[in-house]
Structure 1
């Protein structure tokens, strides 16, 4: 597999993760939650939206729900796990990022940086997984 394929798969994963991450961080911050519940919500939503994006594509390929769920889990789970560990870890280690308000450049800058770092670290992992015929490779045939 090429780096381009791995980057494309990672970008797909990043899109779902970013939607969930941003939504989770915004909800948790708006409600004044502490870091723990905010991160948990962001992770849950990242998995939800990551799998949802894959599910939509597979349903368009006229696959049944059982096959869609099996393929989505096989395609995205490792990538989402790695991405979530990295981007939440980065957010937690940047001083003040989690406590900055939604109007703060620190919050949004840290979140953008965290997602970029997650993309850069996850891409070579996805390349290796795809090269083994796993991960995003299991849904590649349905993307046309």
Structure 2
């Protein structure tokens, strides 16, 4: 499949799927880290780790349902989501760090939630073209399509 054969809609759907798992982990990590008063670095590390866990888990759920054994499902999830999650995490955490006071704002603050929403939206928008490029080459989320 040549570049351009992958629609923007397909890339956006793949990115949205990946963003769902990332957002669950990212938000949970930010909530836990902020509630526990962890440093910005520790909070981000927790959020990134949970984003990968939930991102992979959502993909594995689908491929396990298709009948793959756990080990193979993990391999598919790693191949499908690693680049997408990594890019999203770099973008959304960079935004959170760049917004003055966002990491220290606390869970009751509109600054915290507004910055986090903006960070996740920016991650989505900037990751769609990367996923389109990957899918057009049979990589990334294209690996999962055989199991849907």
TM-score range, shorter chain: over 0.9
Aligned twin of 1:78:
83
Distance 1:74 1:122 in 2: 16
Q: CA deviation at 1:90?
A: 0.3
Q: Which portions of structure 1, spanning 4 or more consecutive aligned residues, are displaced by more than 4 angstroms? A: none
Which residue of 107, 113, 123 corresponds with 2:112? 107
**TM-score relative to the length of structure 2:** 0.96
Distance 2:135 2:108 in 1: 39
Distance 1:40 1:62 in 2: 33
- Segments of structure 1 that go 5 or more residues without pairing to the other structure are none
Aligned twin of 1:132:
137
Distance 1:23 1:65 in 2: 25
RMSD: 0.5
Aligned twin of 1:97:
102
Aligned twin of 1:11:
16
How many residue pairs get matched? Answer: 143
Which residue of 39, 44, 48 corresponds with 1:43? 48
Which residue of 68, 88, 101 corresponds with 2:73? 68
Distance 1:141 1:112 in 2: 32
Q: Deviations over 1:1-49 (max 9, x none)?
A: 1100000000001000000000000000000111000000000000000
Q: Deviations over 1:94-113 (max 9, x none)?
A: 00000001010000000000
**TM-score relative to the length of structure 1:** 0.98
Distance 2:51 2:98 in 1: 20
Aligned twin of 1:53:
58
